[in-house]
Structures are given as C-alpha cells and as structure tokens.
Chain A
Amino acid sequence: MYLYITRRLAVAIPTILFIVLLNFCLTFFAPGDQAFAIAGENATPEYVEYVRKEYKLDAPFHEQLLAYMTNLAKGNLGFSFTYRQPVLDLILSRMPATVLLVIAGLLLGAAFGIATGAFSARFYPSRVDVGLNLISLVLFCLPIFWLGLVMVLIFSVFLNWTPAGGMHSLPIPEGFGRVLDLGYHMILPTITLMLHTFPTYFKLTRNSVIEALNEDYVVTARAIGLGEKVVFFRHCLRNALLPNLTVIGLTIGSVFSGALLTETVFSWPGVGSLMYDAVLQRDLPLVMGIFTISALCVVFFVLVTDLLYGFVDPRIRHD
C-alpha cells in the first residue's frame, strides 16, 4: 500500500514541474507585444517603453523563467498588471464563487446521471431506455454556452422567473435574504452545468450496470434467493460506481479553473471569468497564475482519486 502511495507521489512532482514550464512557455511565446497591450492603444512610445522596463518585459527568456520559478517556490505567483494586486490573492478571492457553482453543478449532474443511468439499465432494453439515451446524447452534443443562453432567454427574458446573470442583486440584500438571493441567482447556471455533466455519468453508469447485471455473481446471487433490490443496489451498483469515481476525480481538479463558458454567459464572478478577462487583456502574470493553480489542483485531485481508488477497489492495491 505504501509503495503504491509513494510511487504515485513520485510521478506527481515532475508532472507539476513540467506543467509549470509548459504554461510559462505558452504564455511567453504568445504572439503580440505585451507592453503595447498593457499601455493601451493611445500610449506614446515613451510610455510603452516605460511599461516594458517596469514589468521587465525585455529580459531574456531564461531570466524570466528563473525568476518565475523562484517566486513560485516561495508561494509568490506574481503581481497582476491590470488589477495591481498579487495574483494569488485575486485567484483565492474568486475561488469560492467558482467552487460553489461548479461543485453544485457537478454533484447534481453526477447524482442525477447515476440515478437515471441505473434506472435506465434496470429497464434495458426498453423504450424508456432508448428515450433516455437519446436525451443524453442530445445534451452531450449541445454546446454549454448555447444551452446557457437559451435558458436565460426562456427563464429570464420570457418567463421572468430567474435573474439573467450575476451572483447577487444590486444592492446586495442583508442577512438571510442574501443567502436566498444567492440561491436565486444560482438556479440557472447550476441547472445548465448539471445538464451538461449529466450525460457522461448517465452513460457510464448505464453501461457499467448493464455489464454488471450480466456477470456470473449476479446469477449466483439470484440463485441463492437474494431479493432483486439487494442484488441491484448492493452488488451491481456498487461495482458500477467505480468508473464514476474516476471521472468525478478527474473532473473535480478542473473545478478550480472554473467553468469559463458558464461563468461568461451568466456573468458569474469566479475564476473562469477572471481568466477570460486576463487573457483578453494580456495580463500574463494572472493568466500564468490561473493556469498553474488549475494544473496543481488537477494533479492533486487525480492523485487523491488514485489513492482513493486503491482504498475502494482491493484489486488495484496489489499493483
């Protein structure tokens, strides 16, 4: 067991280093003069040069890379050009909004997907199953921003049931009203995310359950006389949930980079819209900071999932 954990950790560290290097190269070599972007289109050549010097944009590649790596090791992700605040503080301040939204959407989508997938598999083959498959396929193919915009159109503009965007009304209500206001604003984006994540878990669960239902141990269990519900829930579903665990683990890491498209459509002030704004404005420290944090989160959660898997599935442990 310990060998398993150590091996996994050993792989994670070079992965992180490589990702940071890749991030840095990608943003460094992006076309466009950064000093121009920061100085703005009405700046004089003198001001552009001033910007270039102040942010050390003319230093050679290896110098900038070394400086970045050293700072990173100290926990300093740099200083945002546009916000004039430390990058780490900015990202952390936007995290709660993103985590709230994406976790809610992810959990609801997963729960709903698993329940429906199991239900569908139970009644395989049947018209209900075919119908659910079709719905799942359609939802999988719909782009999330289109889905979001259509939901806004129907539920906000035509029916006026929910707000069209944002995380809270202005002015922000006091006390418990604030919680309700938040919930009110969360309805549409969460449902959109839920509909978007649903198909994956649905299909995965459905296929795993159908496969599990055809296993020998199910025949044995029925032969012994166990009730259908015990066979289904305690034996089949448990095994079918394993692949879902992998997918959830892989997806949770990316929660922290925010659902960029959803946040943009719903004007949700999270990490995703922070990244969108930063890329448009060429705020390199902020862009690199967000990429690095996302990468770190993904690596961390994949690691955790690996370890959890080892716990949950004894077959993996003796690897």
Chain B
Amino acid sequence: MTSNHWNEIKRRTMLKAISGGAIAMTAPGFLLPAKADSGSSLLVALSYAPKYFNPNYTFDGAHHYVNPNIFNKLITYYGEGSIGADLASSWEVSEDGLTYTFKLRDGVLWSDGEKFSSKDVLWTVNSLVEEKGFASEVLNGLEEITAPDDTTVVMKLSDRNSSFLDLLASDYSFVILPAHIYEGTDPRTNPANEKPIGTGPFVVTNFVAGDYIEMTANPNFFDGKPELEKLFFKFYPDTSAAVAEMRAGNVGYMTSTPSASAMRQLESVDGITVGTRNTPPPLMIWLGLNLRHPILSKLEVREALSYAIDREQINMLVYGGAHVPARTSYLSTSRAWNPDAIQPLYDVDKANQLLDEAGYPRDGNGTRFSIRYTGFNAGTGGAKEIGEVLRQQFADVGIDLQLEQYDFSIFADKILKQHDFDITWSAGPHGPDPQAFAAFVASDGRRNCMGYDNPKVDELFAEAKSSESDAKAVQKYQEIQAIIAEDLPRISILEWRRPVVYRSEYANFWWMEGFDQTPNDSYENVKKVES
C-alpha cells in the first residue's frame, strides 16, 4: 500500500508540473499583445515620484517633470532658456519697469469644460500671496494685480526687477489653477490636488501616489490635440531598473541620467538614442572654499588651488568627456556671460610658486599642508570621483587632500548652517536668470557657504536688479564675474551638459530643433514614429 501511495504522489506531482508548465507557456501569449499594443503611448521613467499635483503651495522636487503636461504658467522657458508664451500670449513692460501687462490667450478651456479667464490668474496669485505658498517667493515685490478684462492681467511691482519675467518662467514658479474649483476651499487639501483640472495638453485619468500616473490627451488643448494618445509616468527608485526597462522596450524616455558607464553601454544599443540637451536650469559643478579657514583665507592659496586643477582631466576621467570644463563663474551659455572673466587655469608650476610665496613650503615628505574635501551624493553625480581625481592633482603641488563623502540630505545642515568644511563640492542652478548667481556670492546669499562678503558685489547685484535696460544689467553682471574671477571664493569646475536617453521610435521632444517653441518637459509634440 505504501508503494502505491508513493506512485500516486509521483503521478499527481507530474500532472501538476505539466499543467503548470503548459499554462506558464501560454501566459506570454495572453500578455504579449498587450505589450505590443502600446500604440501611441509613451512611458516616462521618473526617479522621483510626485505625490500630488499642486506645486504652488508646497515644494516637491518632481513637479516640474510632470506638471507642464497638466497645467500652464503665464510664461515659461523654451529650449535653452528663452522666455516664451504659455497662457500669456504676449506681454509688455512699462517705461518705469513697474507695470507688467500680460495679454492672455483667448478661447482656452479647462479640462472640465469651463472657460479660462483672467479671474483664474487673479485668484491664483492672490491665494498664493495670502497662503504664503512656496511659489509666492517669485512674487516678492508685487504691489497689486488687476484684471481689467477677461484676457488681460496687469501686475504692478513696487521696485524695478529685471529678473521678474525669469522668476515667473522658472520651474519653481506657480501654475495657473482653476478659480472655480479652488475658490472658497483650502487649496492645500482640495481633492483637485490629486485629480487635477488644468489647461495643459494632457488630463490625468489615473494616479497612484508614489507609483504611477496615467494621462490621456486633451482634445481641447489650446495648441491642438497632442499626437500621443496616452502618457504614462512611472516611478523607478533604481535607475538601472529603468535602463533595463528601456532596453526591453517598455520605457520610452528617462528623466534622470544613468551613470556614465551605463551611458557608454546604451550608446551602442539598437533602438536607443543618446543625446544632450541644455534645458534650464543650467547647472555647474563648483568648489566652495571656506574663507574662514586660515589657509584658504589667503588669496594666493586660492589662486594656487585653481591653477592646480586640471578640469579637462576631471571631465575625461569622471564623466568620459560628457561635460564642458568651466573657465568662468557663469556658464558660457548665460546671456550675461563675461568671456574675459577667466579663473586661473591649469598650471602646476604657477601653483607651486604661489604656494611657496604664500609661506607654505614643502616638508620632508613633500607636503605643504593637509585640507579636507567634502563630497555629497546628489542628483548631479560624481562628487566622490571628482574628489579622488583632485587628490591626485593636489598631490602634485604638495597638498594632502583628505576626502569625506556624505548623503546630500545633510548638505544644508553641515555646509550651509554649520560651515563644517574646508573645500566642499557643490552644484545647483546657475540661471537662466543672471541674478540667480547672487545666491552663491551675495553676502546674504542662501548658498553662500564660503562666507564671502563683498559690498561691491552686493551693490552690483542690486543695481543689476533695478537696471533700466537689459544691456545695463548685463554690464553689471559682467563686472561681478570679473570680481569673482579675481577674489576666487569659489572655483568653477564643469558646466553640466544633460545627457538624455530615449527610445529611437519617439521624436519631437521639446529640446529638439524645430520643436523648441514648447514649454520644457511638455510632451505635447512628442510622437511615435514607425521605425
């Protein structure tokens, strides 16, 4: 009896295995058509998941990847940083620079069918100021806003501000929200924050916070119905998983940049295109020198450091040549760029000479002094590797560089608050608004970790802000750059070029020639071409 039982078990297990295997083999058959049926849809991989859709009141770093497809601002950045029309079709500035008149597009509809008008703009701005929302910062200096008619909005400033339009166009500016949905409610908890009503090219049809977003083309979009029928955003916590999905054909575009080694691999993969785009905000990698440190407070030492750095080598070794070595404090793409304000460039002999003159001779081991480099793991990657290359380069001039690496979340505390560093890695947006640089070198600049305090520079920034013309403002900014190149509180290393990866069957992205008259991060023109 025992042996029969055993045979019975064997037979049953066999049957189960066979039937299981049979089903498993047919499963792909059920699902492959679903995969191939992507038709006119695009799946975008996000490395940062948005949790709700209202960017005006609270900060969420992922908003600007998604929101241009649902909402519109008054004006926005196109292509590499030119200011373009969004809901405002044209605008005028008064002679005294205090009154901005925006003419709004006519015939725009909200996704629920209601008509868009100036009262939506009015409500959005007033609510923002009242609630002291995150985006209200761009409206500093706004005295009053009026709407003389349905398609006109007038903003009055208390002082001239040459950066006002840039502020309105930036990624961190406010979007126009529907007054008829939000009026009378608490805008921070209104359910429309999860099921938004907007004027953009797509409408959100499905949303699981922190996981994915499903959007459908808006047939009533003021610039014409988008080519794509469906737009999906999915959160991939790990970039390599997103890369794998792209290679497998599911993900069409990635908002983040894969590592340099992954990029090299991807260049040779069929069906994937690798390129670069220079959309705002322009980023620069730089080193902040703590001016409170006794050695770094000496100008000769700072100059020597700049002479000791081979930026070209850093670019090649760490990034495979993907970026551009920086020579100036502003990026070369800035509209206020001063091409003559060049920081000391690679010259080992000059560096050695300066350090000798500064009173730091080499000791028996060839070392002059020891100093710390602090790197951070951030979105703009490579800080650790840069430190390693710098260590070699500084050893050539007798400086012993001690490396330490931290998570970016403590950057604000350690660097900006406690100033606990000698030389720190840093990055951050450097524009397109030339006034943005004040954050780094103005005495009250938010990211002025170096302790740089130069009243002349502060004065120049203020004068640039209240300049009567763009040309005069540019002049002031160029003077600032000349001063910084001499004082060297910070050393620029690389201008960041954003590599971009997408599947070759998609075209007409917003940074491409011929399509750069659309808001950045908006997929309204993207279409799938038959390859």
Contact = CB atoms under 8 A, between A and B. Distances in A.
Interface centre among A84, A149, A227, A280 (most CB of B within 10 A): A84
Given A84-B51, A84-B188, A180 B413 contact: no
Interface string A9-32: 000000000000000000000011
Contact of B248 (A164, A173, A181, A269): A164
Interface stretch (B28-36, B303-311, B471-479, B504-512): B28-36
B245 A164 contact: yes
Contacts of B137: 43-44, 47
Given A157-B244, A164-B250, A267 B235 contact: yes
Contacts of B189: 84
Contact of B132 (A40, A50, A172): A50
A72 interface: no
Contacts of A153: 244
A39 interface: yes
Interface stretch (A62-70, A206-214, A236-244, A270-278): A270-278
Given A40-B61, A84-B52, A183 B27 contact: yes
Nearest to B244: A164
A263 B134 CA distance: 32
Contacts, number: 147
Interface in A33-84: 33, 36-47, 50, 82-84
A87 B247 CA distance: 36
Given A84-B51, A156-B248, A164-B241, A173 B34 contact: yes
B409 A165 contact: no
B382 interface: no
Contacts of A31: 410, 413-414
A265 B238 contact: yes
B27 A180 contact: yes
Contacts of A46: 132
A143 interface: no
Interface in B39-66: 41, 43, 49, 51-52, 58-61
A227 B230 CA distance: 65
B320 interface: no
Contact of B35 (A50, A169, A227): A169
A184 interface: yes
B483 interface: no
A40 B134 contact: yes
Nearest to B216: A171
A36 B413 CA distance: 8
Interface residues of A, number: 56
B412 A36 contact: yes
B137 to A, nearest CB: 5
B412 A41 contact: yes
A160 interface: yes
A160 B417 CA distance: 50
B296 to A, nearest CB: 24
Contacts of A42: 59, 172, 429
A170 B244 contact: no
Contact of A277 (B49, B247, B410): B49
Contact of A82 (B60, B132, B244, B247): B60
B31 A169 contact: yes
B267 to A, nearest CB: 16
A37 B59 contact: no
A32 to B, nearest CB: 4
A170 B214 contact: yes
Interface in A265-306: 265-267, 269, 273-274, 276-277, 280, 282
A251 to B, nearest CB: 23
B241 A38 contact: no
A43 B134 CA distance: 7
Contact of B410 (A32, A41, A184, A276): A32
B212 interface: yes
Identify the 7 closest CB pairs spanning chains A and B, nearest first.
Answer: A40-B59, A36-B412, A32-B410, A164-B244, A164-B245, A269-B211, A33-B413
21 contacts: A32-B407, A32-B413, A33-B413, A37-B409, A39-B134, A41-B428, A43-B59, A47-B59, A84-B58, A84-B188, A149-B244, A152-B244, A157-B248, A164-B241, A165-B241, A165-B242, A170-B41, A172-B206, A180-B31, A184-B27, A267-B238
Given A165-B245, A170-B232, 10 more contacts: A43-B137, A45-B446, A46-B132, A83-B52, A152-B241, A160-B249, A163-B245, A171-B214, A276-B237, A280-B409
